[in-house]
Structure 1
């Protein structure tokens, strides 16, 4: 499980590096990775704001 988390962290950091590099005019593959990273971030943001998601609510017991 720790290995999986490290891989996800490495992908996130690499994606952020590509976003910065693409903003400075990096090569084509960097711009592609940058678009994918920003698209994934937008998807996560959209899913986080989804009102239909079940949220844990503390109930009266």
Structure 2
């Protein structure tokens, strides 16, 4: 069951990356541009979350 869930997540991530590439080329339909926006937003959220957790674990000794 866990393998099935992880497989679906990986397929969704790959599909999102394909939509980002397709939208960057400029000839994507509206739904693909929407998926690309959601994918890019999700990556930004994940990046900001990892930055904030990394900053808190450093201890803040500047």
Measure, in 2, the Cα distance between the counterparts of 1:41 and 1:22: 16
The partner residue of 1:47 within 29, 39, 49 is: 49
Structure 2: give runs of 5+ residues left out of the alignment. none
Detail structure 1 runs of 4+ shifted over 3 Å in the superposition. none
Give the match for residue 10 of structure 2. Answer: 9
Distance 1:11 1:46 in 2: 21
> How big is the shift at 1:24?
1.3
Counterpart CA distance in 1 for 2:4 and 2:41 is 25
Tell me, which stretches of 5 or more residues in structure 1 are unaligned?
56-61
Aligned residues: CA RMSD: 1.4
Distance 1:47 1:8 in 2: 19
- TM (norm. structure 2) is 0.80
TM-score (ref. length: structure 1): 0.81
Matches within 5 A, 1:2-41: 2-25=3-26, 26-41=28-43
